[in-house]
């Protein structure tokens, strides 16, 4: 793929009556994991009221979107039954949507979860399987007019990190996303309601993740809003750990500092949305970055 440097492109998406504008500034997506086993905050927000409180805090901290998920997609994780996922996310979305106008995305690969989440107040579908894992997912997006986030993942969460190999990681991911978007359009999803995500940490080595962030500009040729989610992920921890450490805690301050470096580099290279755990620090980083860019 030839690199073509493009200037800022403004996109406007109607998220079921909630407008999203990309290109004027990067949007911040705050993560609410209602899971016992997510790599960074598993178990912290399984209780509905704690999850709602955390979501509202993220909004106060500056989140433009809340991303609610009830199934961990960390490496080597197993899926959860549909009923359990629904039980985790729907009450939280229902309560949050009554307390804030901030758009809510449902992080799921299951069409039934997505449908019930939208009925409860969600307005975006964030599908790490790029609508390949459930053939009914495009129909839900079309039925409700929901924007979709299509992410690249090599394999499944259970096996994606075993030995990910690419001949050209950027070209292969870009081709995958192009095909996924084309399939969504064929299924009736308007192209102007598609957001793409190259899938940091989903079937990629440390070197692959660094290459994606460094060459993020190349994905702008897809001409769709671009989301990136590097927050506290293993490639950051692997860069920061000492030689005798197997891993370090995602909760360490230096891991969050590393996240902010990755977020800043991503925005400089074209990210329209950054998906993060720490919204307050991210807002501060982007505020300074924007001031420097506009100086």
- Give burial (CB, 10 Å; 0-12/13-18/19+) of 191: exposed
Q: Where are the alpha helices (DSSP H) in 42-81?
A: 48-61
Active site residues: 233, 275
Compute φ and ψ for 237, nearest 5 degrees.
-65, -40
Strand order across the beta sheet in which 194-197 lies: 194-197, 148-151, 124-127, 104-107, 65-69, 27-33, 273-276, 227-228
What's the CA dihedral at 223, 227, 233, 237 to 10 degrees?
Answer: 70
248's CB contacts (< 8 A; 6+ apart) are 237, 240, 241, 255
Phi, psi of 84 (to 5 degrees): -70, -40
CA angle, 4 then 10 then 13, to 5°: 125
Residues 260, 283 contacting (CB under 8 angstroms): no
Q: 59: which residues sit within 8 A by CB, 6+ positions away?
A: 30, 66, 100, 102
Q: How many CB atoms lie within 10 A of CB 252?
A: 14
Rounded to 5 degrees, φ, ψ at 127 are -115, 105
**CA–CA gap between residue 205 and residue 75 (Å, rounded):** 12
């Amino acid at each position: 793929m030839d690199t073509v440097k493009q200037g800022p492109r403004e996109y406007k998406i109607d998220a079921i009556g909630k407008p999203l504008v990309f290109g004027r500034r990067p949007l911040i997506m705050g993560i609410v994991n209602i899971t016992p086993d997510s790599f960074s905050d598993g178990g912290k927000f399984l209780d509905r009221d704690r999850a709602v409180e955390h979501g509202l805090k993220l909004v106060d901290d500056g989140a433009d979107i809340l991303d609610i998920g009830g199934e961990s997609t960390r490496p080597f994780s197993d899926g959860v039954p549909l009923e359990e996922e629904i039980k985790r996310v729907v009450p939280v979305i229902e309560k949050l949507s009554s307390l804030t106008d901030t758009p809510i995305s449902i992080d799921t690969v299951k069409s039934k979860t997505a449908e019930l989440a939208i009925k409860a107040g969600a307005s975006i579908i964030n599908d790490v399987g790029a609508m390949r894992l459930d053939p009914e997912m495009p129909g839900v997006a079309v039925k409700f007019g929901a924007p979709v986030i299509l992410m690249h993942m090599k394999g499944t969460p259970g096996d994606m990190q075993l030995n990910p190999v690419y001949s050209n990681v950027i070209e292969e991911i870009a081709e995958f996303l192009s095909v996924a978007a084309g399939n969504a359009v064929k299924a009736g999803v308007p192209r102007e309601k598609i957001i793409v995500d190259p899938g940091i940490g989903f079937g990629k080595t440390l070197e692959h993740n660094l290459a994606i962030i460094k060459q993020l500009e190349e994905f702008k040729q897809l001409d769709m809003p671009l989301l990136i989610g590097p927050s506290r992920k293993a490639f950051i921890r692997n860069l920061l750990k000492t030689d005798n450490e197997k891993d370090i805690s995602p909760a360490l301050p230096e891991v969050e500092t590393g996240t902010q470096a990755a977020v800043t580099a991503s925005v400089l290279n074209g990210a329209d949305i950054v998906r993060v755990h720490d919204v307050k620090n991210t807002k501060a980083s982007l505020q300074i970055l924007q001031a420097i860019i506009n100086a």
